[in-house]
Amino acid sequence: MADVEESVFGKTPDGRDVKMFTLSSGAGVTVRVMERGATVTSILAPDREGKVADIVLGCDTLEDYLANYSYMGAIVGRYGNRLGGARFDLDGETYRVTANEGGNQLHGGWRGFDKVVWEGRVAAAPDGCAVAFRYLSPDGEEGYPGALALTVTYTLTRDNRLRIGYEGTTDKPTVLNPTHHSYFNLTGDPTRTVLGHRLAIAAAAITPTDAGRIPTGEVRDVTGTPFDFRPQTGTVAREIGFQIDATGVELAEQLAIGGGYDHNFVLRKDPGAPGGPAQAAEVFEPEGGRVLTVFTDQPGMQFYSGNGLSGSVRGKGGVRYGRRTGFCLEAQNFPDAPNQPRFPSAVLRPGEVYRQVTVYGFSARG
């Protein structure tokens, strides 16, 4: 049966307990989530032979997480992804947010949602088990206007889906774009790269970036480029590594900018579009047969191929995570949307409720 267990993972430097919640689906998948960063620390999932392995990167101790700057498994925000110039205009005012990537902001600044301790509690879930995490971001935190109350609920269903539901309110107009930042490696062996994983993305376009990885405002068709991960009729999805270092082809300059894939794929026009979460991506690892399927109601999804992993993070079992040993599929609004009038709005106003649902499904096949 689906169940949740609660324990203490560690203490913050100021002596605050950080709780860990272990969710079991009752059908072979176990997920561990801690209060610091509302972070998924572990996902145990079986392969086609029933062999269970941990398929996300992470750390063994809270102390290692406190020293880690790669956002592994965390909820990031207020604005996930990048804000160009670490600024945005809203209702005639210019807001300067903290710059933590050159002159830009990445994932909410120096102390984004990934670095705070959320309040976790077991929640009701008729189709499985759940934990709700709540954080109140004060007015002016990292430069953002408005006191923002955000709840993120992780539900592990009895059919092995991890549903992440977000609800947020504010007392002043602000911008909001949280996302989940797990690094997956479906082999269960983080010493191996993910380049042999087969990836399908339901996107016909990307939002290309400048050299600072800030969107130019364009929306570019991916047909015939290394960014076309749509499976063709009668074929299987292609390997992540197939054209990751391609040169001399259309959009190859985008691969050079990111050192591989680190781009927003255009899924739909509007966040929270009617119809609920739709399938956005599927990843298949041929050797063990594990499958990750992503559903979301968001307009974009950042595919990151772990190009920046360099061995600097001490991971589980002392493993130093090397380049491209994990990939991220981050469902979200478009990066830099507050500064791009043609992109979907990221504005949240008093009286409105921000809602987002993203689902990661786990299975295996031959």
Q: By C-alpha distance, which of 21, 55, 17 is closest to 38?
A: 21
The CA distance from 107 to 347, in Å, is 16
Number of domains in the chain: 1
What are the CA-CA distances from residue 78 to residues 114, 117, 342 (Å)?
Answer: 10, 15, 21
Catalytic site positions: 181, 330
Beta bridge partners of 166: 152, 356
366 residues of the chain, pLDDT tens digit each: 889 999 999 999 999 999 999 999 999 999 999 999 999 999 999 999 999 999 999 999 999 999 987 999 999 999 999 999 999 999 999 999 999 999 999 999 999 999 999 999 999 999 999 999 999 999 999 999 999 999 999 999 999 999 999 999 999 999 999 999 999 999 999 999 999 999 999 999 999 999 999 999 999 999 999 999 998 766 678 999 999 999 999 999 999 999 999 999 999 755 555 668 999 999 999 999 999 999 999 999 999 999 999 999 889 999 999 999 999 999 999 999 999 999 999 999 999 999 999 999 999 998
Angle among Cα 265, 164, 50 to the nearest 5 degrees reads: 90
Domain CATH code at residue 134: 2.70.98.10
Residue 239: Cβ within 10 Å count: 16
Q: Which domain does 137 fall in, by range?
A: 3-364
